[in-house]
Structure 1
């Protein structure tokens, strides 16, 4: 039996590709292990897969700014490397697949120390800090954007396209309407701020709801602990997050307001959902979402509203404009060539597991 060790975490974006791959591995009879942090979102997301053995390790945050924790975290990372090394030595996987995030660095190094081949996946247009640290220890780096290849060693880069969870295509709009108690008479706006929520988006949506409610039924994924009970409208449905119900809610949505994380926007693209993207600022991130959003804007798949320009009025105006132009966006999305990325990625991992180091 082939054995794969998956890693990645810190946000849902660093887990969703792994979640898409797990059923494919199990279908082929592979044994699947997962290394993540003790309290990260990855542990929560992997938990429903009872046939996946989850292992926790110590992890530190890799910061680009001065912080007292920067003195402590190298010791946490070193401890994580030792723990990952021992887990990999004991479980003996044939290959390690890393989706990125801070927790993945010790796992990649631990795999390299055990001479286990590593395949990395990079969702964003440019590699994140964790993946940049891990790439020297990897055999190949699979990319979502073709432009990413110019930032990598050509001998390691593999353009595979976007991995989209198969279950998203199985959503049913009628089930989504039943969940939210929505009607067919009014269009649906889905607001997604990311797995950790988006406080600025949430605050601006609250200020704009008077106008938005006149035109849309709104389902709002606010993030953990960010549902505001004071926001009450007849067809406004806030949730912290959705899991099994998400495909149905996406199926009923006419347009989407979202951050610009790569996994999410490619999922919206695959479902032909016109989107207004509000990327994280450079102060909040390394600027990857700004590049993602600009790439989609140039392709005609979305409208972009920078957070610095976002007010209740500019948000409402942008969403109204997006909805009025929705058919033009859908037409351009129909021309996008969807690759069978999941199968291609599985074959690359399978080949690495069989190929001697």
Structure 2
């Protein structure tokens, strides 16, 4: 088997890193040596270093769609990052670069292009984020998750692959999940995921209606760093976590129904695990609206119910949740008919086809 090398990049949030992790075992199986380029302080550094992958550091400025004084200085950080990435790629001589997006990816993609190294980009959402919009002209191919995305990518570069999902996600144990939470009563399990940083509005809404929810459900609540409610720690059927890594697969296997944000990675994980959900997409006031489009696609497909953040209150959430639970068979029928599957093999094929 010939020696191959791939440099991966992506960061700023866990959603720009975890699909890369899903690809790494397959890449190694195919004979690729894997390295990573990220920032010094990005969330990607700890995640990748924990996997014992060689991690190269560059500078990068944040890309913003709104006015900020840092908009005047950050382009220079991006430019510095391009030169640093150019140097790393020239030294490491990868056969291909794979980018998952986020602001750190822009200098890496440009650095690869200037070194004449093929670049594959993966876009999780229906419409490309700002970093990927900038990077797409320098890419060889763009892997997309939603069929609706194909029309947003010009130049015949887009390939529908689905999103890569970590293999270990399918190895969770329902029994272990229940043991972790020490649930004593046999009730349906509701799991709440507010994104990698948690969601204050979802946390507050759930806790406001907690007594009502506990009549019907055991509850697993991943609430984000610093968001544990200490006054609720003694409630046996309400298990709070700031963040979960190794035990997440077991907790997700144990859950019967989900309340979640609508980031592409998490909702396709729920689809792959065949879990119905109520999705609460991040408001357009706090984002570019990608989660709203993701959630609407899942609603139209019959996989989820959706509540817009501006309409969220305990009554609306309780009614939507009950509707999904009481009509679970209808949602499962749509989920089971879905043609979406784990995108790992599809993305690996694109990488192999484009490897220099």
Give the alignment's TM-score, normalised by structure 1: 0.96
Measure, in 2, the Cα distance between the counterparts of 1:204 and 1:90.
52
Deviation at 1:231, TM superposition (A): 2.4
Q: 1:86 corresponds to which residue?
A: 87
Asked if residue 2 in structure 1 is aligned to residue 4 in structure 2, the reply is: yes
Deviation at 1:339, TM superposition (A): 4.0
Q: Deviations over 1:10-34 (max 9, x none)?
A: 1111111100001111122211001
Q: 1:301 and 1:342, CA in 2 relative to 1: closer, same or farther beyond 3 A?
A: same
Asked if residue 263 in structure 1 is aligned to residue 273 in structure 2, the reply is: no
Q: 1:84 and 1:148, CA in 2 relative to 1: closer, same or farther beyond 3 A?
A: same
Q: Deviation above 4 Å: which 4+ runs of structure 1?
A: none
Question: Helix, strand or coil: the match of 1:102?
Answer: coil
Aligned counterparts, 1:158-197, within 5 A: 158-183=159-184, 185-197=186-198
Gaps of 5+ in 2: none
Question: Helix, strand or coil: the match of 2:287?
Answer: coil
Measure, in 1, the Cα distance between the counterparts of 2:224 and 2:84.
31
Measure, in 1, the Cα distance between the counterparts of 2:278 and 2:46.
29
Question: Helix, strand or coil: the match of 1:182?
Answer: coil
Measure, in 2, the Cα distance between the counterparts of 1:24 and 1:49.
14
Q: 2:20 corresponds to which residue?
A: 18
Asked if residue 285 in structure 1 is aligned to residue 311 in structure 2, the reply is: no
Asked if residue 301 in structure 1 is aligned to residue 279 in structure 2, the reply is: no
Q: 1:335 corresponds to which residue?
A: 337
Measure, in 2, the Cα distance between the counterparts of 1:70 and 1:185.
53
Question: Helix, strand or coil: the match of 1:230?
Answer: helix
Q: Deviations over 1:201-251 (max 9, x none)?
A: 111112111211111111111112222212242211111111111111111
Q: 2:114 corresponds to which residue?
A: 113
Measure, in 2, the Cα distance between the counterparts of 1:161 and 1:27.
20
Deviation at 1:162, TM superposition (A): 2.6
Q: Deviations over 1:57-83 (max 9, x none)?
A: 111111111111111111111111111
CA contact (8 A) 1:208 1:315 kept: no
Deviation at 1:318, TM superposition (A): 1.7
Measure, in 2, the Cα distance between the counterparts of 1:204 and 1:38.
35
Q: 1:310 corresponds to which residue?
A: 312
Aligned counterparts, 1:117-266, within 5 A: 117-183=118-184, 185-232=186-233, 233-266=235-268
Measure, in 2, the Cα distance between the counterparts of 1:336 and 1:34.
33
CA contact (8 A) 1:221 1:241 kept: yes
CA contact (8 A) 2:272 2:341 kept: no
Q: 2:346 corresponds to which residue?
A: 344
2:328 is aligned, of 307, 326, 329, to: 326
* Alignment root-mean-square deviation, CA: 1.2
Question: Helix, strand or coil: the match of 2:232?
Answer: coil
Q: Deviations over 1:76-118 (max 9, x none)?
A: 1111111111111111110000000111001101111111110
Question: Helix, strand or coil: the match of 2:239?
Answer: strand
